[in-house]
Amino acid sequence: MDLRGTSFVSWRVLFNFKMAVYATCILLIVWFAASFALDNKQVFLPGETSEGHYLFEASCGSCHEGFKPVTNETCLRCHEVEMAEDAHGRKKFLDPRWAGELQKLEVLTCTTCHNEHVHMFDRGVHLQPDLCMTCHEGIIAGDLASHNGFTPDGCWTAGCHNYHDHRSISTGFLRQNLDRPPMLPVQQLPDRSVSAQLEAAPEPDLYQEFLGGAS
């Protein structure tokens, strides 16, 4: 048995493997450098962008500063008005009574719940469907009879609850409005009549149109 021949083949295979690894690394470096040079940073997207953020997909700098994580300040550039009546806002969790809940989930950081480029559920920015159960598992575990049999992933996916604005379906709201009718009156548009002041359309006058209607 020729051991020298076997050894030569082994070294040759190892050399070819190393060359393939080096070539792959060089190609990746050239590809990344070209993406930066041509401002084509979409190649770095780790996953699908949510529906509301497709407009920013070609402009990473709108949300990211380099490769740093997105900050609350960045999110509030667009969503500050929406958060003005935030039911789970910063003021609520700075109250010591909720310190225990804050330890379960760092809800003061937007990206704790909102994971961009990570597809989870087709409704706005991607969220874990059972996220509410981190703090509210007791609601479907017997604490609220009306929710017996509900699934952990149905709080907001079913369209009932909105984490940032649940005023219209909160317990307090329901208690304050128990005497209200179950349905509001059906809204109807008033009848309107329009009378034309001219029987025929006026003849077009391009000269007056050019002057902007001036004489």
Taking a C-beta distance cutoff of 8 angstroms, is the pair 156, 127 a contact?
A: yes
The reply to whether 119 and 140 lie within a common domain is no
**Residue 199, in any domain of the structure:** no
Task: Give the model's pLDDT for residue 209.
Answer: 61
Please tell me the pTM assigned to this model: 0.56
If one counts the domains in the chain, the total is 3
Inform me whether the pLDDT recorded for 87 exceeds 70: yes
The reply to whether 122 and 71 lie within a common domain is yes
Taking a C-beta distance cutoff of 8 angstroms, is the pair 87, 163 a contact?
A: yes
Task: Give the model's pLDDT for residue 3.
Answer: 47
Host domain of residue 35: 10-39
Task: Give the model's pLDDT for residue 119.
Answer: 66
Distance from chain centroid for Cα 109: 14
**Residue 99, in any domain of the structure:** yes
**Residue 51, in any domain of the structure:** yes
d(CA 28, CA 43): 11
Q: What is the DSSP letter of 143?
A: I
Lowest-confidence segment of 66-80, 98-112, 164-178 by average pLDDT: 164-178
d(CA 5, CA 57): 55
Q: What angle do CA 118, 124, 129 make, to 5 degrees?
A: 65
Arithmetic mean of pLDDT over the chain: 76
The reply to whether 23 and 85 lie within a common domain is no
**Residue 209, in any domain of the structure:** no
Inform me whether the pLDDT recorded for 123 exceeds 60: no
The reply to whether 132 and 115 lie within a common domain is no
The reply to whether 33 and 63 lie within a common domain is no
Average pLDDT over residues 144-169: 83
Torsion sign over Cα 48, 82, 155, 181? negative
d(CA 120, CA 115): 9
**Residue 177, in any domain of the structure:** no
